[in-house]
Amino acid sequence: MSATPSRLPRVVAACALYAFCTAAPANTVSETLIFLQADGQAYLTQRAIRSDAPEHRFHVDKSLTLDQLGYIDPNDFTWNDDGAQTNVLTFKQGDFTVMYPGSFDAPELTREADGTFVYNSWDGQTREDGHFGMWHEPGNFTRFNYAWILPAHFELIDYVSNRDGQWVERNNTLTFFATDVNDLTFSIRYRERDHDGDGVVDRLDRCPNSVPDTAVNAQGCERDTDGDGVLDFDDRCPRTAAGLAVDSTGCEPDRDGDGVADVRDLCGRTPTGAIVDADGCGLDSDGDGISDAVDNCPGTPQGALVDRRGCEIDCDDDGVVNSADQCPRTAAGHAVDDKGCELDSDSDGVVDALDQCADTPQGRTIDDKGCELDSDGDGVVDALDQCADTPRGRTVDSNGCELDSDGDGVVDALDQCADTPQDRTVDDKGCELDSDGDGVVDALDQCADTPRGRTVDSNGCELDSDGDGV
């Protein structure tokens, strides 16, 4: 986003996480997903950065607090709100994601006379360093993806960016793809759908298939003068008193034939022959909403949910009725206890039906399959691994540590001198030191300071061909 020396304007409100800084240029991929909400103004934003930089300083609008950034991954970060223009999230690794809700406000979002939303991401101001819109320092974004996901009742009108890229419109999702870009701004126009063109948007239209050019009310429906739910054109009783129930012709019926007119009948679908009270409702002794005439379980406890037979519901069909079921969504066929919850024999938090490691020791950290974690993938689980960060593909011992066959302190995978004798001093490649560079290692060199380039014997001493001691 852009900024002036004195303030940071709210431009690209849906992308208020706007600046990403590193100590040196790095390959940086930016992904922004904006989930527009039903009112066309509220949104949920997910901003992700992937980079090969070792550290990121991610600047956010000064108006945003840490509590507003509901989702931050990784959780290892620092927060600094001492800056005059921005607050800063600093991450220690190459990838991170931030999610937060918000709402578009003027001037970035305006409405045209016909209700069309007009979103402009930039207010025209430029920072002192020349950056504006969605920007990245010190170099360009290597790849930049920017997507709007609109609810189904919206339609896109048009869209434009100030930088070259590829626009893709698919399933009410609009995506902009670009490479090697910076300082991006966007303008997007969208509106709510009105399929029948009656001036009432589909989301509010109770009659979404009105005949063209027909006058409708605020709900998108043709006139109903007496308000009985039957349009004037079809109403045989156009002056029905307010609030009275009517049939499809607009006249008062007794649809269930229980002897209580619908105008007074509080239970308009009483089964034929059922005994009813003055309100037209069948007697219901246990108060479960099922009249006694059809209630197969007449003693249901108060408040329990029942089926059409008046018997308590067992939604997940595990043999435990809902009122006693503490796990009401058990998968079909899974064994449960008397509380309706699946069995977890090793108490690792993964039910037996999904547990691929059924006898995990108590207290161990596990994955979603119920198996102990092996974070470095060396075949030794974390709980037993004494070398937790072994590089991938290395051979390890039963403690999870890399092999050092000659015991020189350099693991075999890095040891270029694999058979170094015990207790010899070696360099970081696992080879013995030769301090004077004469080709005889220090441990065998009887003349440790031979000048460079001199020819020496097997003891590391210069040759004395004539045996005169010189």
Strand order across the beta sheet in which 28-36 lies: 71-73, 95-103, 42-51, 28-36, 141-149, 173-181, 166-170
CA distance 32 to 47: 5
Q: What is the pLDDT of residue 245?
A: 82
For 89, the 3-state DSSP assignment is strand
Nearest to 188 by CA among 120, 280, 92: 120
Residue recorded with tokens 């910076």: 182
Are the C-beta atoms of residues 64 and 12 closer than 8 Å to each other?
A: no
Give the N- to C-terminal CA distance of the chain in Å, as an integer.
78
Who contacts 101 (Cβ-Cβ below 8 Å, separation ≥6)?
42, 43, 44, 45, 68, 70
Long-range contacts for 396-402 (Cβ within 8 Å, ≥24 apart)?
Answer: 400/376
Q: Please state the length of the chain.
A: 470
Nearest to 16 by CA among 67, 62, 54, 85: 62
For 384, the 3-state DSSP assignment is coil
Would you tell me how many other CB atoms lie within 10 Å of the CB of residue 455? Answer: 10
Q: What is the pLDDT of residue 470?
A: 62
Q: What is the dihedral of CA 318, 323, 327, 331, to 10 degrees?
A: 30
Nearest to 304 by CA among 323, 287, 289, 317: 323
Q: Which two tokens mark 404?
A: 């050092």
CA 182 to chain centre: 26
Phi, psi of 310 (to 5 degrees): 85, 15
- Is pTM beyond 0.85? Reply is no
Q: Which two tokens mark 295?
A: 């209630």
Who contacts 342 (Cβ-Cβ below 8 Å, separation ≥6)?
327, 330, 331, 334, 335, 336, 351, 352, 353
Q: What is the pLDDT of residue 333?
A: 80
DSSP classification of residue 318: S
Q: Which two tokens mark 86?
A: 């921005």
Q: What is the pLDDT of residue 25?
A: 57
Q: Is the dihedral of CA 159, 165, 166, 169 positive or negative?
A: negative
DSSP classification of residue 323: G
Are the C-beta atoms of residues 99 and 45 closer than 8 Å to each other?
A: yes
Residue type, 272: T
What kind and span of H or E run contains 186? strand 186-192
* pLDDT tens digit at each of 470 positions of the chain: 333 222 333 333 344 445 444 444 578 899 999 999 999 999 999 999 988 878 877 877 788 889 888 899 988 899 999 988 788 888 887 788 999 899 998 999 999 999 999 999 988 888 888 888 888 877 899 999 999 999 999 999 999 999 999 999 999 999 999 999 999 999 999 999 988 888 888 888 888 888 888 778 888 887 888 888 888 778 888 888 888 888 888 888 888 888 787 778 888 888 888 888 888 888 888 888 888 888 898 888 888 888 888 888 888 888 888 888 888 888 888 888 888 887 777 878 788 777 778 788 887 877 887 787 777 777 788 777 778 788 887 888 888 787 777 777 777 777 778 788 887 877 887 687 777 778 777 777 778 788 888 888 888 788 877 767 66
Annotate 48-67 with b (16+ C-beta within 10 A) or e (fewer).
bbebebeebbbbbbbebeee
Q: Domains (ranges, CATH) in the chain?
A: 13-192 (2.60.40)
CA distance 215 to 224: 11
Q: Which two tokens mark 1?
A: 């986003």
DSSP classification of residue 451: P
What Rg value do the Cα atoms of the chain yield, rounded?
Answer: 38
Q: Which two tokens mark 368?
A: 């979603």
Would you tell me how many other CB atoms lie within 10 Å of the CB of residue 403? Answer: 13
Annotate 87-123 with b (16+ C-beta within 10 A) or e (fewer).
bbbebeebebebbbebebeeebbeeeeeebbbbbbbb
Q: What is the pLDDT of residue 469?
A: 65
CA distance 244 to 266: 12
CA distance 459 to 470: 16
The three state secondary structure string of 44-81 is: EEEEEEEECCCCEEEEEECCCCHHHCCEEECCCEEEEC
